[in-house]
Amino acid sequence: MIESFPGRPAHLIWGNLKEYPGPNEAGLQWSREWVAEFLWVSKFWLGPFIPLICVYHPDTTKLVLKSSGINDEGLKFQREMTGLFPKVSRGWLGPFLPMLFVYHPETTKIVLKSSEPKSRNAYRLIEPWIGTGLLVANGGKWKRNRRLLTPAFHFDVLKSYQLIMNKTSDILLTKLEKYAETGEIFEVFSNISMFTLDTMLQSAFAYEIDCQTTGEHHPYVVAVHELVELVTERFLKPWLHNDLIYLLTPDGRRFKKHCDFVHKVAEDIISKRRKAVKKEAKGYSQKKNLDFLDILLSARDENNQGLTDLEIRNEADTFLFEGHDTTASALSWALYSLAEHPEIQKKLQAEVDEVLQGRDTDEILWDDLPKLQYTTMCLKEAMRLHTPVPFIQRELTEPMELDGHEAPAGTQISVMLYNCHHNPLVWPNSMDYIPERFSPENVEKRDAYAFIPFSAGPRNCIGQQFALHEMKTVLAKIFRRYSLKLDPTHKVEKYETLVMRSQTGIKMKAFRR
């Protein structure tokens, strides 16, 4: 049963929560050490009554994923736990919630390949924000909606977005040009976050606002950032999991206010598109390129039933969050690693120069993307090292064997993606930035579940190709024109929420090549 899983001793009241340093570098280090200790799967108690099983090996994450705010100190703690328990470990979230953590390919594979649903306990906290879209839905609803949304990510549809990705990248480059001219130090995440939001709104919804010029003070961005932090804080405080109690707190009231705002943004976008469809009628139905919202509005299942207005809003909110915030994190950390390693940056620039040789434009064409092989390696290594989405949750509906131990039905399992990507059994010198880890020959030698930034199995990220194309496009355009250097006086400190951030920002300078 749950006690048979490996894990550190738990406090009677706090479980294993007290030993976790928090959402910082120490927490990431703790996570890596935990994986080293429990290489495949482990148990973590969220207080006295809620066990969480953590998987971080391809075999165990695969089983889970194929189923239907931590700072630097906290991240260090995670790495330490990974070292102590290399595959799986047990922990308590408070006195009543035990959890198992998995972070080795062998244990993560088992979890992610299974038909187990997303954890109701974990994802319930985000439901008031994004509803029961693909990220949260389970069972028949998830299968139906996944099938209806899949055409939105067909290569022919993605190809039509390439022009927009170049356009929004050029707006970002205009800002970088000003920084290069003045020598001004700029903050990376805020600028990249505006770029990804702009790209998402224009590509998926044909919705243009001036968010790249408005900057990080754009109300939608402020709302999303606060929602992410509020959800993370609430998850780590079991006494706030009760909705009534939470809504009586200042944080609960702020959470509701921001939810209402982002819902209004999505509803306005949907309403305007419905009016356009009705006005243009036949001509609209013959559009050559349908975007994400077009497909949501026109999708029909085998019973000729479309998505309800609420389902469309839920999917729009989910797509805006996942396509904007997580991509911004991945890109920001990629720029950070490349600025930190000028010799790697030069190799990437050489590749981009070769691909664009002889052209009088910096436009990245659809056919250029497969040629950017080293750029892709640099991007994937940054996603491994920094892990934009640090963890995902599952809940067992039936017993599951992990690393020789049986987890009972009802067990909460946390697939620790950050720990997976720093498991010493899989990734030697895991804190080093080495793009060659993702050369074709090295990828072939490695378990497919060793690197899972977009999750894996049937519930993998439906928009991962969109995100990869967007990130490769903007990286190529940036380094075709500029070199980046970190501000040596600024210390970057990680902060692990639903998305990996820097609590101090990422600051650097741009130099014209």
**Reported confidence tier of residue 96, pLDDT bands at 50, 70, 90:** low
105-117 CB burial, b ≥16 within 10 A, e <16: bbbbbbbbbbebb
Q: What is the pLDDT of residue 179?
A: 97
Under DSSP, the state recorded for 453 is: B
Q: What is the pLDDT of residue 15?
A: 81
**Amino acid 460: pLDDT:** 92
Phi/psi at 281 (5° precision): 45, -115
Q: What pLDDT shows up at residue 67? A: 37
Residue 68, pLDDT score? 34
Give the Cα separation of 454 and 470 in Å (integer).
15
Per-residue pLDDT reduced to its tens digit, 188-220: 999 999 999 999 989 888 888 778 887 667 788
Question: In angstroms, what CA-CA distances link 214 with 23, 97, 305, 322, 324?
Answer: 29, 43, 40, 21, 16
Per-residue confidence (pLDDT) for residue 424, from 0 to 100: 92
Q: What is the pLDDT of residue 291?
A: 84
Q: Are 453 and 384 in contact (CB under 8 A)?
A: yes
Q: At what angle do helices 58-65 and 105-112 cross, to 10 degrees?
A: 10
Rounded Cα distance between 134 and 252, Å, is: 24
Instruction: Please state, in angstroms and rounded to a whole number, the distance separating the CA atoms of residues 337 and 433.
Output: 7
CA distances from 345 to 57, 133, 481 (A): 31, 38, 12
User: 26 vs 435, which has greater pLDDT?
Assistant: 435
Q: Helix/strand/coil (H, E, C) string of 127-169? A: HHHHCCCCCCCCHHHHHHHHHHHHHHHCHHHHHHCHHHHHHHH
pLDDT digits (tens, 9 = 90+) for 32-52: 888 888 877 788 877 776 677
User: Which uninterrupted H or E stretch holds 422?
Assistant: none
Nearest to 125 by CA among 233, 43, 271, 266: 233
Report how far residue 81's alpha carbon sits from residue 468's, in angstroms, rounded to the nearest whole number: 31
Q: Is the pLDDT of residue 366 over 70?
A: yes
Residue 417, pLDDT score: 96
Question: Which percentage of the chain shows pLDDT scores above 70?
Answer: 93
259 labeled part of a ligand binding site: no
Which pLDDT score is estimated for 59? 64
d(CA 437, CA 380): 9
Residue 66: per-residue pLDDT: 45
- Percent of the chain residues topping a pLDDT of 90: 48
pLDDT digits (tens, 9 = 90+) for 437-460: 999 999 999 999 999 999 999 899
Give per-residue pLDDT as tens, 248-268: 999 999 999 999 999 998 899
Residue 474 has pLDDT above 60, yes or no: yes
Q: Which of 65-79, 127-141, 324-338 comes out lowest in average pLDDT?
A: 65-79
- 510 DSSP 8-state letter: E
Over residues 293-335, the pLDDT tens digits come to 888 888 888 888 888 889 999 998 888 888 888 999 999 999 9
The domain ranges of the chain are 1-116+396-460
